[in-house]
Structure formats: structure tokens, C-alpha cells
């Protein structure tokens, strides 16, 4: 009797594990699509930056640069 119950539990658990595996595959596919879209957006942004500044020198700014703030009279 216990063996039959165990077999039923294993049988239904098999369906659940297959369903979870399918969800994992779908998540992986969505992640691949999202990565491709992000790479395309990054490439588009890079091209826009290069179009705005064709020399390719995008500057050397940094946050909280005390010397630059003093030079501009902000400190």
C-alpha cells in the first residue's frame, strides 16, 4: 500500500518537475531576448554618442571633482 502511494507521488512529482523545467527554458529564452535587446540599445546609444561627438573623445569628467567645481566657482 505504501509503495503504491509512493509511486503515485513520484508520478505526479514527475509532471511538476517537467513543468518547472519548461518554465526554466522559457525564462532562459526570455533572458536571451532581453540581452539581445539590451546589446542593440547599447550599440544604438554608442552610435548616438559618436554622432554627437565625432572626434570620439567623450571627455574625462568625473563626479564630485572638487578642482573642477572650484574652477567654475561653485565651491
Domain segments of the chain as ranges: 2-71
At residue 67 the predicted structure's pLDDT band, cuts being 50, 70 and 90, is confident
pLDDT at 41: 93
- CB contact at 8 A, 49 and 58: yes
* pTM (2 d.p.): 0.54
Section 65-75 average pLDDT: 75
* Cα 30 to Cα 21: distance, rounded to the nearest angstrom: 14
Contacts of 50 (CB under 8 A, 6+ apart): 56
Which pLDDT tens digit goes with each residue over 4-56?
Answer: 888 888 988 998 999 999 999 999 999 999 999 999 999 998 888 777 766 65
What three-state secondary structure class fits 22?
A: helix
pLDDT range class, residue 58, cuts 50, 70, 90: low
Amino acid at each position: 500500500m505504501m509503495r503504491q502511494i509512493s509511486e503515485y507521488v513520484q508520478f505526479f512529482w514527475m509532471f511538476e518537475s517537467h513543468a518547472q523545467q519548461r518554465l526554466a527554458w522559457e525564462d532562459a529564452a526570455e533572458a536571451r531576448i532581453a540581452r539581445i535587446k539590451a546589446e542593440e540599445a547599447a550599440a544604438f546609444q554608442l552610435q548616438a554618442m559618436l554622432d554627437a561627438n565625432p572626434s570620439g573623445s567623450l571627455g574625462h569628467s568625473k563626479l564630485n571633482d572638487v578642482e573642477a567645481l572650484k574652477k567654475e566657482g561653485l565651491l
